[in-house]
Every structure is written in structure tokens, then in C-alpha cells.
Amino acid sequence: MSLRLTLSIAAVLALPPHLVYAQTASQPMPATAVEPAAGASASAADLALRALYEREWAWRQQEFAREKIDGRWQASSRLPSVAPDDWERRAAYWTQVLEALDAIDPAQLSPAERVNAAVFRAMVEADHSAATWRTWEAPFNSDSFFWSYFNPNQPYAREADWDRLLGRLRDLPGYFDQQIANMERGLERGWSVPRASIEGRDRTLEPYTRTDAGNPFLATFDAIPASVPEPRRSQLREEGRRLVLERLVPAYTTLLAFLREEYLPRTRTTIAASELPEGRAFYRSQIREYVTRDMDPREIHAIGLAEVERISAEMREVMARAGFEGSFEEFLQFLRTDPQFYARSSRELLANASYVAKKVDGQLKHAFNILPRYRFTIIPVPDDIAPIYTSGRGGLDACLFNTYDLPSRPLYNLPALVVHECAPGHSFQAALALEAPARPDFRQQTYFSGYGEGWGLYTEWLGTSMGIYETPYEDFGRLTFEMWRAARLVIDTGLHEYGWSREQAIDYLASHTALARHDVVTEVDRYISWPGQALSYYLGYRTLRDLRAEAERELGPRFDQRPFHDTVLALGSVPLPVLESEVRAFIAAQKAAPAP
């Protein structure tokens, strides 16, 4: 899962720099559009485009407090300013950038730069749209919070990283003050997060208001490793503890009081995006951002209904294969309540996830020619966010699995979750991107949800040919996940276009999947507070399945899934229309090549 279509300006403000870096690293970075060969002359259009995106990128890094460290763009030692004047200035700048981009003739660009131009345009359009809609006046949702993730999941090994962390934390009180002021502005014009979708999210702040060992920041500074030599290690620990107690605890306490006493009581009681100012137009802008196509919500709703019906038939076939003789509803209840399907400890759940990940390792060579060297680890979701966090999330360095409320974490869903989040899903994508040939820097930070999450869902399906699902129950878990994404098309558009109630959406998802009730509620609240994002998964998946079917049809017995997959991943994160055109170019080249 990702935060926005592009991990750029809007995302930077949705989350603090630490999570932005973690999410950036967790997403696929592009690698196919090759740079011109040494000595090749670039056209005037190519040079103009490069100058434009390089200039915008340098400006962006300064705006959002990032610097290049060990070859990767990461959070610097300060936090960005998020005041209204900053957003107005940014919106004006992006208007100028888009005007300059419009002046460049795409027909005069080289193939590599044509892809770069399409990616750059979609990235800037999304950021410009978010700035002009003033989404920064509601800077969190039920899934992601601007106040979380400043605390690193694992201790830094180097002194410089601790110094940068201290710098960001010094800026945190002022950053929170700006966010509070922005939320006040949103409330005044009726632009807020729906109250029903964020009940209880304020509790994620509570650990950070503590002054004892239960404060996650204090635990972090107590865990500075020996790789930071003394006496600097002790100095950092004491400096960090003093900063936490004197500045961070008061800042989190002030924010918590604001949310509970001012914000939550005044948030809107409606749930549809259409109920926001100019809400129908806003919802369509969100569809364009996350799907990277102009699609009518009613068209998407119809696609969802058809796919739900198709997957329902497959689920009943698997239920019969499992030998269950009751009704579908009884089968769902059996899956949700039988102890055989649930881990008895956090370690057991993590061990099962690790087993699946290692089993995948043995199959990767049959599905890919190019394998990354970088390795990920498997860790639990941090305790402070686990109660409202999704089941799992994968990144470059780690796959996180939620061990909170184990009776809501069925093991039959775990194989599909592992292949999606770890390998050959997001961690695999991110590692390949890290080792990819050099590309423009802005391409290394751009994330299109349709591409990235579409690939994640595609890998769940790919697991059927990799021998990942060992029992009918695990195959049913895979179909539950596929149904979950297809049902999103119905639910998201139902909520924001057709006026569905929250309970109507919960009942629809619960009746069509074996997801635990906890996950069902968490997911529906996410769709309510994050309109459009949930549409990207299945529409991206469908695009990839359609392209594979086209390649198989066109190439016949010459089709080999390994170069097909390599092409998709080497291309990197791009809008879906670009994915289609580039994969079709691959198919044409394969078709024209002499038979081996």
C-alpha cells in the first residue's frame, strides 16, 4: 500500500519525513526508459524537458527538506513548512511548470524522454491538484497521520542519522502548530475528515504524551547501538531524552487536546466526498490521480459489480474443493472462528510469514530473469499504530505484519499478503528499483498507485503458479483478497457517488469476503476518508492481467513470463496508459525478433 499516487509534495505533507522516506524506499522506482547512448545528441525538446524536471526537482527538495544521502533522497535535519502561504506559492510554481511542459512538443522527444515527460506531468498535476484543492487542510485520514512515524522502526547505525533525527524533532512543535492552524481553516470551510472514519485515531498519540519508558521516543534513544561510539552515544541519548521530555511531550499533548476538544467534535458527520465543497468534481480528480485515467465513477461501479460476481463463483468452487457442505455464509463464519486458522502468538504469525517468504525465494527464478540482491526483514507493526493499522505493508528494508488482535489475523490470508507486500511484491519491486540503472532523480520518488498496487495484486494471482497456496483455505484466502479489491470498486464509488452509508459498505464487504470484522471496519473507514485511492488496486491489476493475456495471445508458444515480468518491473512506476504502451512495444519487439 501507498499513500498517494505520487510520493511527492502531497505525500510529504500527509506524513512526516521519516515515513515519507520509508514509503519512498518501499515503492518501485523506474528502470526501463534507457538514457541516450554516450555521444548521442539530444534534441532541443529533450534538453528543454530535462532542464525543466531537473529544476523542479531541485526546488522540490529544498521545499520539502530532503537531501541525497548515500545515493538516496532522504529526510534532512529539518521539517518542511506547511503554512497556507507555502501551499499557495507551491501551487503557483506548479502552474508555471505545467505551462512550460505544455510548450514542449512530445513528438520531438526521444522515447526515453517521452516516458519521463508522461511521468513528470502526472506527478506535477497530482501535486498541483492537491495544493489547489487545499487537501492540506485535512492532513490525515483513518490510515495515515501526519503525527506518526517520526520515530524510526529500527535504531540508526550511524551518528549522522541520529543528528538528522534530532534536527527534525526540534522542528516538530512548530510543524504541529502549522498543521493545527491548517485543520482550523479546513473546519471553517467545511473541509474535514469524516468523523465516523477516524473515531479512536487520537489514541495513537497517547504513548507520545508519556514521560516514562512507555514513550516510544525514549525507548528509541535508549537503544542507540554500539556502532555509535562513546562518548557520543551517551550524549545523543541524553540530548534526545531532554528534547522528548521538554518539547515533544508538550507538543503531542497539545495536539491530542486539540483533536479531542476541538477537531473531532467539529468534523463533518457526512461521509461522501460529494458532500465536500465542489465534492463531485473533487472525487473525479481523485479518481484521475489514483487510477491515472479519466473514468466515470458509475463505469467503475459497474466493473466492480461484474468482477464481484465472477470471483464469487470461484470462491464457491474452492469452498466445494475444501469439502465444506454448508452455505457460503456458514463457510465464512467457520473461517472466522475456527482456532486452526489463527496463530496463538505473535511469533507464530511472523514465523508463518517468514516460511511463505522463503518458499517464494525458491520460485522466483522461474518467474523472473533479474533478481535483486537487497534483502528485507520481517517485523511486527509498531504497537502505537497497530490497533488501527492494516494487516501488512511492505518496503525496501522490511515487511511489517500486524500481530495486534490475533483472532483478527487469519493464517489462510497470510500467503497472499506475503507475496503482495514482500516478494515478488513491494519489497521485491523496491530492491530492483534500488539496483536499477540510473534514471532522473524525480523518477526515483514517483509512485503511481495503479502501477504499484496493481503489481502487488497481480503477484497474488501469480502465486497460484508458484505453488504458494498449499490448501483450499489458502486459495480461498487469495480469492478473499482479490474479492476485497474488486469490492472496493463497488464500495468506494458507492460511498462517494451513490451515497451509501457506512454500515451499508461494511455489510457489503463482510458478506463477500472472509476478512475479519476488525479488518472490514478498518478498510471501510479508509475508503471513507481517502476517496479514490482504493480504486487503483483492482484497475491496475486488471490492466496487468489484460496485458499478459495480450502477450500470450500475440506471442503464442514463444511467450515467456520471465522477460514479460522483467519488462514491467524495469519500466518502474508509471501511469497505466504508459504501462500499456511500453508493454505493447515489448510485445511487438518480441514478435518481430527471429525465432530462437
Q: Tell me: cis bond preceding 339? Omega within 30 of 0 counts.
A: no
> DSSP string covering 122-179, please?
HHHHHHHHHHHHTGGGS---SS--TTSS-S-SS--SSHHHHHHHHHHHHHHHHHHHHH
- Please determine, for residue 26, whether its predicted confidence score (pLDDT) is greater than 50: no
Q: What's the pLDDT at 153?
A: 80
Name the least confident of 33-47, 111-125, 177-191.
33-47
- Please determine, for residue 30, whether its predicted confidence score (pLDDT) is greater than 60: no
Name the least confident of 16-30, 53-67, 96-110, 553-567.
16-30
Q: What's the pLDDT at 34?
A: 40
* Secondary structure percentages of the chain, helix, strand, coil, to 5: 65, 5, 30
Q: What's the pLDDT at 40?
A: 54
C-alpha 155: how far from chain center: 23
With beta carbons less than 8 A apart as the criterion, state whether 214 and 162 touch.
no
Q: What's the pLDDT at 533?
A: 94
- Please determine, for residue 33, whether its predicted confidence score (pLDDT) is greater than 60: no
Count, in order, helices (H) and strands (E) of the chain.
23, 5
173 CB-contact burial (10 Å; exposed 0-12 / middle 13-18 / buried 19+): middle
Among 402, 390, 394, 388, which residue's Cα sits nearest to residue 484? 390
Between 448 and 2, name the one with better pLDDT: 448
Q: What's the pLDDT at 484?
A: 93
Q: What is the pLDDT of residues 403-416, one digit of tens each?
A: 999 999 999 999 99
Q: What is the pLDDT of residues 132-165, one digit of tens each?
A: 999 999 999 988 889 988 999 889 999 999 999 9
pTM for this structure? 0.86
The mean pLDDT value for 296-315 works out to 97
Average pLDDT, the chain: 91
Q: How confident is the model at residue 184 (pLDDT cuts 50, 70, 90)?
A: very high
Q: What's the pLDDT at 390?
A: 84
> DSSP string covering 37-68, please?
PTTPPPPHHHHHHHHHHHHHHHHHHHHTTEEE
CB atoms within 10 A of CB 204: 20
CA angle 384, 141, 445 (to 5 degrees): 90
Between 8 and 404, name the one with better pLDDT: 404
Among 481, 537, 473, which residue's Cα sits nearest to residue 513? 481
Domain residue limits, the chain: 9-273
- Please determine, for residue 329, whether its predicted confidence score (pLDDT) is greater than 90: yes
Name the least confident of 28-32, 245-249, 319-323.
28-32
| Beta strands across the sheet bearing 398-401 | 377-380, 398-401, 392-394
Any idea how long the chain is?
A: 596
